[in-house]
Structure 1
């Protein structure tokens, strides 16, 4: 979608999309850069949670760095060639997968820390943490590469359009969009939701402030991600349904396609907001920490988010022992 002569009717949508993307860039670039600087420059000891947050900020910064090019292309036209089009698209999708996989890892890490604190001790070693992070980036690159052959269309009338896809059949479109929605949202979010339902029930019975604080923060990251990415995948699903109904119900398929074409750009712009929200959540949470040095609040937040596993295990064991003693006393009565 660009402001060519045949697309002036889309002007309100173009303005809305460019405004959302500009907001994401202005807020997200300094926010994620500050998170990276805080963790790398002010924290000598980095827990598994902090390492995951660092990589989440890096993924968000990578995708936000491409926004000026997308904003210009949406408002005018694509000037950078097919190779750049596909590379930048790959970077965006790679970061999308990395974000959801990292958030899933944060959820699993919190689940293990709450339910299996002793077992978590060997998984929180640096070697295991970095191996997990490398695996996440490898999978993100692999799934992100799927979109490369299909992004960008070239025609004699309009030239290169980097905003569209050159699927050769409805089967190809359906397979690619379902893969993106299932791997990039449905399956990971099902795992994330399950983890937090279990963690929420367990933490409700505990009195450890740091656990409650970190669980609230990470759950906020999860909710923000879901709200930002859900519209994008809803329109993906509409496109799939339209493709499947094209032969049997052509009129309905065209109506669904029009709905998808109308909403896909706004939904895509909203998805970019997920990359700028996390630093805002960290900053808001850091306000709860009293410190004479303002810049130290964020690092203090990260330090208290994931206390040592040994301490957590001790607290857990003490808590369980206390409950067992109480139950024994009640049984004796």
Structure 2
């Protein structure tokens, strides 16, 4: 009798179980019954190599973003609107970097940290991304107003910048709420535990909805704002030959470019995955494997972003180097002879003709 029941139990019944809505990989949609023959293939890179990468990113981000925050906070007199945005950007990267050891451990052993930590580190990851692009959009608007519409008084913006930053953090948190609400530790059979969304029998459908909304308001729209603002800003700089401010914009352009290089590939692959899951493009086993590997690789690239901004400031931002040397000289860690003779070096940007930016 039991043997007959066992023979009647097919592969289709297996996928109709309660765990059919779960995906066993980070940020991937659920395994569908009709895709059962497809076996997921991981990126051809050792999980221990990924752990080493995460460890290096963690150390560089911890050191670099701490120094950026120190230099900006120390430079109270010359701190500008853009500096406040960059301070918040460094804060977001630092908070995310603190979660990297947990992500690294989960690469080796699966998610063994429970639901509470799953929600927390996933929330920090999402808030880091959204606050990053929203703050960069704010910087682009600030540069646009300062260079294209120079009649706008910078003193008024300086009073508003703290409230704008709080608003960007609040918006980032709102965009990340679905992750906080629906993510939990999942323990699928025959596989390592994962930290992923659980929305019951409607997981597949709601995941598509929850992808479209935040990535529209938290990625596409801010990106369009940056393209618009920097397009007109660059045109104005070239048109009126504002050499000093043109040089000063190099740091900001580099920060935006690095952000896009790190995060745009991930979101393009995620868009392709969404189109395939919604049947707008046909799904094949080979295409599914390619997207799985691409998601894994581009997520690593996105994680790498949290340590890159301080490197940009160190190589391009002249005043960041001067500010750091000044702090070290004050503490007696370096000779004061290394300090620049000019007490007012060139800066990375300005909110007005006489307001300089720390980086």
Question: TM-score when scaled to structure 2?
Answer: 0.75
1:131 and 2:131 correspond: no
Secondary structure of 2:193 counterpart: strand
Aligned to 2:263: 229
**Distance in 1 of aligned mates of 2:270 and 2:284:** 14
Within the candidate set 304, 309, 312, 1:281 is matched to: 312
Pair 156,217 (structure 1): closer, same or farther in 2 beyond 3 Å: closer
Pair 105,293 (structure 1): closer, same or farther in 2 beyond 3 Å: closer
Aligned to 2:197: 165
Pair 292,280 (structure 1): closer, same or farther in 2 beyond 3 Å: closer
Secondary structure of 1:294 counterpart: helix
If each structure's helix is expressed as a fraction of its own residues, which one has the higher value?
1
Which structure 1 residue ranges, 5 or more long, are not aligned? 313-333
Aligned to 2:300: 269
Pair 241,290 (structure 1): closer, same or farther in 2 beyond 3 Å: closer
- 1:178 deviates by 1.8
CA contact (8 A) 1:32 1:60 kept: yes
Once the two structures are superposed, the pairs formed by residues 1-333 of structure 1 within 5 Å of their partners are 12=45, 14-126=47-159, 128-155=160-187, 157=189, 158=191, 160-162=193-195, 164-166=196-198, 168-245=202-279, 249=282, 252-287=283-318, 294-295=325-326, 304-307=347-350, 309=352, 311=354
**Distance in 1 of aligned mates of 2:315 and 2:95:** 23
Which structure 2 residue ranges, 5 or more long, are not aligned? 1-23, 26-38, 328-338
Q: 4+ residue stretches of structure 1 with deviation over 4 A?
A: 6-11, 287-293, 295-298, 300-303
RMSD over aligned Cα atoms: 3.1
> Deviation string for 1:156-194 (max 9, x for gaps)?
5246311x4335343212112222432232221111111
CA contact (8 A) 2:65 2:93 kept: yes
Question: TM-score when scaled to structure 1?
Answer: 0.80
CA contact (8 A) 2:43 2:297 kept: no
Number of aligned residue pairs: 303
CA contact (8 A) 1:243 1:253 kept: no
